[in-house]
Each structure stands twice: as C-alpha cells, then as structure tokens.
C-alpha cells in the first residue's frame, strides 16, 4: 500500500529557517579568485568579499567597511596586500584588521588595530574555495566542522563545468538536486536517456555523517552517459547538508570519475549551482570541451524547469511529497531539523536516518 507523506507549503520570512549555520558553503572555484583581485559575493543573505593575501591564500571578510558601511569589494588592493576602502581610504589587511586611517593626524592617540572587519573562515580544497557560515560572526571564529571531503587526494584539482543561478530558495533547489523522478521528463537527451526507457530501480541507501549515500552499484543500464565508460563500472552517490551532491564512479581497478554539484544560497529566493568534474582517464582531458558543453546542456535543462517552478510557487500552493521517489526530500528536511536542534542545544549532531532500500521508476 502506498504511504502518502504530505508536506505543506511555506514561505520563509526568516532566513534562519532556510539556511543552516555552522557549515561550509561553496563560495567559488579557485580559478574565479585571482591574486590582486577582489570578489564580492552574497551568500545566505550575507555580503562577503573574497581575496588572496600576498602568499596566495584566500580570505573572506564581511563586505562592509566598519566606518560607513561601503562595500570593501568596491575598493582596491594596495601593493602591501591591504584592501583600501573607496570612500575614505581606510585600509584592512587579510585578517580584517584596520591598518591605516589616512584622515587621522599623525599624533592621534588610540589603537586603530582594534577596528576590525569581521572575518569568515575559508578553506581551499581541490580547486574550490569554501566559506564557513557561523551562527554568529564573532572575532576569531573557529569552525566546528572540517571542510567537505571531495574524495580527491591533495594536489588534485576539479575542473569547473558550469555555474548558474536558480530562481528558487535553497530548499527547493536541494529537492530538485536529489529528486530521481524528474530525470525521465527533464533530461530527455540523446546522450542520456529517453522517456521510452523507463525501468524500475531499486537502490540501497545508508547514512553518512551529515547526510546519506546511495550504496555503490552498477550504473543504470538505460543511461547512455555511462555506456561510454568501458570495463567494470560502479557508482556511489553521496548527499550532505547543506546542499552538496557527489558522485564517485569507479572504472576498473584504478580509474575514477567524480562529479560534484554544490548549492549555495544567495538569498531567500535564489541559489547558486556549481558543477565540478574530475577524471583520471586521459581521454576525458581530450574531450573536455565536448563534456563541458554536455554538462551545460544537462544543467540548462534543470534551469528551464526551475524557472517554471518559481512561477508556480508565486501563488504559495500546497505541496506534496509522495512515496519512495520523494523519500530523499523528506530525509533532507529531517536532517535540517536535527541539525538546527543540535546547534540550538549545543549538543552533537546525530544523523536520524537509517539504512533503507528505495524503489522508483525512471
């Protein structure tokens, strides 16, 4: 008998209900942050400026000058590596410490180093830059969680395929990312599959520290994208809050392909999707541009339906999560609930999920 699981719709007014804190979010690919340049981003309704210090290490500061609030990203980098505000020339180093206020007379008393632009923890991992979003941005914030494990050895870098903004909040974006049932109707492509190739799928899932994984298995026989991979092929798919999906494909005994999709909330109504790719197969380097084009097409199909979704959500309709195809969406909400409860109580997060086998047709 089919069990109906109903989730009523909602329109979040408080960003804290949407965005989980004390977690790492993808900020941008490493290639998007060049030394000598500043990059301003909005992440979870917070404006952040990213830069690299003189040693090339990335940093992130609250994107407001403490003086009058002008975005520091609108300033420029000096030869000494300091950011100079465009309004009154105040200077801040990569730690956010004020180093110079040009308008002050030389004999002015007081320690300007006590003036700080708040700093966010940053990590650079395999060609990606992550920012830690604390529940409270205080001086010397220490992350409570390690940066994400991208399943790549240090020194190996991911290739960046595509970046796009989805016109939906983080919840709807995540549900779209982990939803298996839309594939049949949204991703009908010569290189993937068609609606005529429907099959009943049985997948085993297990909990991981901050999410769940689809246990390693042979790829779907009706997916053309996998058929180009010769030999013994298996895949394992991970999902972790706040919104990271990683697929690890093993080919034979030594080769692997890794596909990573990250979702970063911009504000209450938009989310940035980034897709990264790695392969140990030499041929994929030769085929990089065709692969990049196919990746763009695949993501573009999702974006098209998300704009239609955003239009429908304007009327705040009642929404449903039905049966096993929507189980992963329900898991996501349960993970969010338990994470938020653990942060509020100051206790250790315990994954509430159990091993389970799901069935769906796609």
More confident residue, 295 or 318: 318
- Our CA angle for 153, 154, 159, nearest 5°, is 80
Residue 223 has pLDDT above 70, yes or no: no
Rounded CA-CA distance 59/84 in Å is: 15
Local structure of residue 217 (DSSP, 8 states): E
Cis peptide before 242 (omega within 30 of 0): yes
Average pLDDT over residues 263-283: 92
pLDDT at 11: 41
pLDDT for 98 equals 98
pLDDT (0 to 100) of residue 9: 42
Mean pLDDT of 95-102: 97
Cβ atoms of 310 and 168 closer than 8 Å: yes
- Kindly report, residue by residue over 332-349, the tens digit of the pLDDT: 999 999 999 999 999 999
Helix (H, G, I), strand (E, B) or coil at 24: strand
At 19 the three-state DSSP class reads: coil
Structure token pair of residue 3: 């069990």
**147 against 299, higher pLDDT:** 147
* pLDDT score recorded for residue 23: 98
Query: What's the CA angle centered on 34, arms 29 and 37, to 5 degrees?
Result: 120
Q: Dump pLDDT digits (tens) for 19-47.
A: 999 999 999 999 999 999 999 999 999 99
Is this structure's pTM higher than 0.85?
Answer: yes
Kindly list the distances between the CA atom of residue 102 and the CA atoms of 26, 226, 289, in Å, as whole numbers in the listed order. Answer: 36, 61, 49
Tell me the Ramachandran region of residue 231: left when phi exceeds 0, alpha when psi lies from -120 to 50, beta otherwise.
left
Domain boundaries, the chain: 23-133, 159-361
Is the Cβ–Cβ distance between 89 and 106 less than 8 Å?
A: no
Residues 119 and 97: their CA atoms lie apart, in Å, by 9
CATH 2.102.10.10 for domain 23-133, yes or no, is yes
Q: Given pLDDT bands bounded at 50, 70 and 90, which one contains residue 284?
A: confident
Domain 159-361 is found in CATH 3.90.380.10: yes
CA–CA gap between residue 36 and residue 10 (Å, rounded): 43
Q: What is the DSSP letter of 22?
A: S
The H or E element that residue 360 is part of is strand 356-361
Q: Residues 168-218: pLDDT tens digits? A: 999 999 999 898 877 777 666 555 555 566 788 899 999 999 999 999 988
| Rounded distance between C-alpha atoms, residue 340 and residue 242, angstroms | 11
Say yes or no to pLDDT of 322 above 70. Answer: yes
């Amino acid at each position: 008998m089919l069990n109906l699981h109903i989730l009523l719709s909602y329109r979040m007014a408080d960003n804290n209900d949407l965005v989980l804190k004390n977690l790492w979010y993808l900020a941008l690919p490493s290639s998007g942050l060049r030394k000598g340049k500043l990059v301003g981003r909005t992440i979870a309704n917070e404006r952040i400026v990213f830069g690299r210090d003189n040693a090339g290490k990335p940093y992130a500061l609250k994107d407001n000058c403490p003086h009058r609030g002008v975005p520091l990203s609108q300033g420029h980098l000096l030869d000494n590596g300091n950011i100079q505000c465009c309004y009154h020339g105040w200077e801040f180093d990569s730690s956010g410490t004020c180093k110079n206020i040009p308008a002050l007379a030389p004999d002015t008393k007081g320690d300007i180093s006590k003036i700080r632009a708040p700093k966010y923890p940053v990590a650079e991992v395999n060609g990606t830059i992550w920012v830690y979003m604390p529940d409270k941005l205080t001086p010397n914030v220490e992350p409570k969680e390690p940066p994400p494990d991208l399943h790549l050895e240090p020194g190996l870098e991911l290739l960046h395929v595509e970046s796009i903004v989805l016109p939906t909040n983080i919840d709807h974006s995540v549900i779209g990312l982990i939803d298996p049932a839309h594939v049949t109707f949204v991703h009908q492509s010569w290189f993937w599959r068609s609606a005529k190739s429907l099959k009943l799928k049985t997948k085993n899932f297990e909990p991981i520290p901050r999410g769940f994984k689809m246990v390693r298995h042979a790829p779907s026989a009706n997916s053309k994208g996998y058929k180009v991979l010769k030999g013994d092929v298996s895949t394992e798919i991970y999902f972790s809050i706040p919104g990271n999906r990683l697929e690890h494909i093993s080919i034979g005994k030594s080769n692997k392909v890794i596909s990573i999709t990250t979702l970063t909330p911009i504000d209450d109504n938009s989310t940035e999707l980034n897709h990264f790719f790695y392969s140990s197969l030499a041929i994929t380097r030769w085929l990089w541009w065709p692969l990049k084009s196919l990746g763009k097409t695949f993501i573009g199909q999702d974006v098209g339906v998300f704009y239609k979704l955003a239009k429908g959500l304007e009327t705040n309709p009642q929404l449903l999560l039905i049966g096993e195809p929507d189980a992963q969406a329900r898991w996501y909400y349960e993970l969010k609930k338990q994470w938020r409860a653990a942060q509020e109580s100051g206790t250790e997060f315990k994954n509430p999920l159990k091993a389970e086998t799901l069935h769906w047709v796609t």
